[in-house]
């Protein structure tokens, strides 16, 4: 007989405690001890099964095998030993679960979902439980596993996420490609090299790819030389000229170094191409044959007054990077740059243009900016990511630069346009018409983690994501949870900065991702879709989230669905991959809102 006299209520693990791994045999010695912990006391045995389960918490652990206990009570105890509804989150439900970084037990996502999370969210910022170095190493192992398992599928996923603008940054995709070209298998290297020019669209991307590959130990072999030569040969002369003046060097590499190493063929009959290549490499060249943008760049570097620069900018559409540093403190220069400024450059320089008085009420420049920020087609065409607009809103609204000493008085119309542009940057979403409970994890781990080294915490960013769904779906309600749950006064008509400010004021606590389902059942809420925005580091609840959802379905007769929006690139999810009514999505995937609506509708 198992000794039950020493069992005690399960304690919440300390923050940072990794917790034991899930046993391979559910009836192992450790599992047996954990099962004993949920034994009912004598006073609780008299309750019905329904009463116990509706409370969503296991009875206190106490021996029920004492003298005088009836056989019926014994049989009931054994049944409850294997009842998944009474297993706390600090213990595994089954051998498909594994320990998360907080000490709770959740489902491990497969390598393809993990790869998708990494490509979208990256791992350059630490979580509450894991350093950036540790998180990157874990994700790197997953990327390598995917390359080894299915090279073509891995390359296709990297290219798709990069080209469709689903990720806020291109760096994770570039890192994944670098891991591929460093692989020992020829098939893997070939698939990775074939994808390079589709992902590395600018010189900055190419320089980063070379730098990362070299850091990982890749040499200048034939494969590397061929892919770099293809990149240069694939750009028309005028396009390459613009790359040469706009992105002259990055990450310790420049165009001259790469051209000398790769020896691209070029076109021997194109005099402009020959002159451009020789100019880049610092060799003698025919000045008259140079592309016009290069001639304008050379003239701009020698210019001594703003008037000449303004003329060159307007005639040749010179970018900001082609100008001398002193010119960027002149308002007239920015006015000349604005009409042909790319979307990414535009949102990054809203602060400096406001500081210099370029953006002011009733000005034509302000009208130009507002038109750009509210143009859905241009937003999609530019691949500007919603997170970039959200980050720009947070910085612009603050009135000061994240780095440096620049400050400005925000123009309200620009703030409004950034807010509206955030919603417009997502793909068109057809509402499902279902009832959504939007549950935001406001625990300590969500508050401490900064998304992609931005000023925004994961829980503030999750509020912005939830507002996108609320703006589309007519039937939504917001709640926030940690160890307990509270209603949040957020509506679809609320501005992003106001919503994130409300979220940031909610007290933090430990994590129990079962709270939304528990709350809905207790309050009699009819919910079609629970949407939980979390880092999946749940551990403190007395029932697993999946079991809480099953109980909600059983009690209400509603086949409710669960969508888990992961806000960090860890390998865990509270969603059961074997339950067709549960879906795991990546936070800040620009396609997430449309996928959520489709899943709710089906």
Average confidence (pLDDT) over 103-115:
76
Average confidence (pLDDT) over 126-136:
54
Q: Give pLDDT, residue 234.
A: 93
Of the chain, the percentage scoring pLDDT greater than 70 comes to 76
Q: Is the pLDDT of residue 153 over 90?
A: yes
Output the CATH code of domain 436-601: 3.40.50.410
> Is the overall model pTM greater than 0.85, yes or no?
no
- pLDDT tens per residue, range 499-531: 877 877 777 677 788 899 999 999 999 999 999
- Nearest-angstrom CA–CA distance, 494 and 356: 30
- The residue among 266 and 333 whose pLDDT is bigger is 333
Average confidence (pLDDT) over 391-396:
90
Q: Give pLDDT, residue 25.
A: 37
Average confidence (pLDDT) over 450-470:
79
Q: Is the pLDDT of residue 57 over 60?
A: no
- Nearest-angstrom CA–CA distance, 291 and 274: 10
- Asked if 85 contacts 547 with a C-beta cutoff of 8 angstroms, the reply is yes
- Nearest-angstrom CA–CA distance, 428 and 591: 9
Number of H helices, E strands in the chain: 29, 11
Q: Give pLDDT, residue 160.
A: 96
Q: Is the pLDDT of residue 292 over 80?
A: yes
Q: Give pLDDT, residue 312.
A: 96
In terms of average pLDDT, the best of 78-92, 107-121, 431-445 is: 431-445
User: In the chain, helix, strand, coil percent, each to 5?
Assistant: 50, 10, 40
With a CB cutoff of 8 Å and minimum separation 6, the contacts of 363 are none
Q: Give pLDDT, residue 447.
A: 64
Average confidence (pLDDT) over 358-371:
96
Tokens (6 digits) for 162: 């990069």
Confidence tier at 208 by pLDDT (50, 70, 90): very high
- Shortest CA distance to 459 belongs to which of 476, 477, 482, 436? 482
Tracing tokens 């609780």 back to the chain, one arrives at 44
- Nearest-angstrom CA–CA distance, 193 and 177: 8
Average confidence (pLDDT) over 280-291:
94
What's the mean pLDDT when you consider all of the chain?
Answer: 81
Q: Is the pLDDT of residue 23 over 60?
A: no
- Nearest-angstrom CA–CA distance, 376 and 245: 29
- The residue among 297 and 84 whose pLDDT is bigger is 297
- pLDDT tens per residue, range 323-360: 999 999 999 999 999 999 999 999 999 999 999 999 99
List the chain domain ranges: 29-108, 111-293, 341-384+386-424, 436-601
- pLDDT tens per residue, range 173-200: 999 999 999 999 999 999 999 999 999 9
């Amino acid at each position: 007989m198992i000794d039950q006299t020493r069992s005690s209520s399960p304690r919440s693990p300390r923050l940072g405690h990794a917790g034991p791994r899930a046993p391979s045999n559910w009836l192992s010695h450790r599992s047996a001890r954990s099962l004993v912990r949920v034994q009912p006391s004598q006073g609780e045995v008299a309750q019905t099964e329904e009463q116990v389960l509706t409370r969503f918490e296991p009875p206190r652990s106490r021996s029920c095998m004492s003298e005088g206990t009836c056989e019926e009570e014994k049989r009931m105890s054994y049944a409850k030993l294997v009842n998944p509804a009474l297993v706390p989150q600090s213990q595994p439900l089954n051998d498909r679960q594994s320990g998360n970084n907080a000490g709770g037990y959740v489902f491990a996502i497969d390598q393809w979902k993990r790869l998708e999370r990494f490509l979208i969210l990256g791992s350059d910022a630490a979580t509450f439980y894991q350093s950036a170095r540790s998180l990157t190493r874990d994700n790197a192992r997953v990327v390598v596993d995917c390359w080894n398992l299915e090279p073509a599928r891995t390359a296709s996923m990297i290219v798709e996420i990069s080209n469709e603008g689903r990720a806020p940054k291109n760096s994770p995709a570039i890192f994944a490609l670098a891991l591929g070209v460093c692989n020992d298998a020829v098939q893997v290297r070939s698939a990775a090299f074939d994808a390079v020019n589709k992902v590395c669209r600018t010189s900055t991307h190419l320089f980063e790819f070379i730098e990362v590959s070299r850091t990982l130990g890749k040499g200048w072999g034939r494969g590397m030389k061929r892919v770099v030569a293809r990149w240069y040969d694939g750009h028309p002369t005028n396009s390459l000229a613009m790359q040469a003046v706009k992105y002259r060097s990055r990450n310790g590499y420049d165009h001259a170094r790469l051209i000398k190493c790769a020896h691209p063929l070029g076109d021997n009959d194109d005099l402009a191409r020959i002159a451009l290549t020789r100019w880049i490499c610092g060799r003698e060249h025919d000045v008259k044959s140079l592309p016009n943008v290069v001639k304008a760049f050379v003239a701009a570097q020698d210019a001594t007054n703003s008037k000449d620069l303004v003329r060159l900018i307007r005639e040749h559409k010179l970018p900001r990077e082609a100008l001398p540093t002193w010119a960027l403190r002149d308002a007239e220069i920015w006015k000349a740059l604005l009409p042909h400024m790319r979307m990414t450059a535009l949102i990054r320089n809203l602060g400096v243009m406001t500081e210099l008085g370029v953006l002011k009420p009733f000005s034509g420049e302000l009208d130009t900016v507002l038109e750009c920020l509210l143009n859905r087609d241009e937003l999609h065409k530019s691949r500007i990511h919603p997170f970039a607009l959200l980050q720009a809103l947070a910085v612009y609204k603050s009135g000061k630069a994240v780095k440096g000493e620049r400050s400005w008085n925000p123009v309200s119309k620009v703030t409004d346009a950034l807010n509206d542009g955030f919603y417009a940057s997502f793909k068109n979403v057809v509402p499902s018409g279902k009832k959504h409970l939007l549950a935001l994890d406001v625990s300590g781990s969500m508050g401490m983690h900064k998304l992609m080294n931005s000023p925004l915490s994961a829980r503030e960013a999750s509020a912005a994501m939830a507002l996108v769904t609320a703006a589309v779906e007519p039937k939504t309600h917001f709640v926030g949870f940690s160890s307990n749950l509270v209603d949040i006064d957020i509506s679809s008509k609320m501005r992003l900065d106001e919503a994130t400010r409300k979220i940031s004021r909610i007290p933090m606590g430990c994590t129990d991702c079962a709270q939304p389902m528990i709350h809905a059942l207790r309050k009699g809420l009819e919910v079609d879709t629970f949407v939980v925005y979390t880092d999946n580091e749940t551990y403190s609840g007395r029932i697993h989230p999946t079991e809480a959802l099953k109980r909600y379905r059983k009690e209400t007769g509603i086949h409710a669905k669960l969508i888990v929006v992961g806000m960090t690139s860890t390998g865990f999810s509270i969603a059961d991959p074997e339950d067709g009514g549960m879906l795991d999505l990546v936070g800040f995937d620009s396609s997430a809102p449309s996928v959520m609506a489709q899943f709710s509708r089906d």
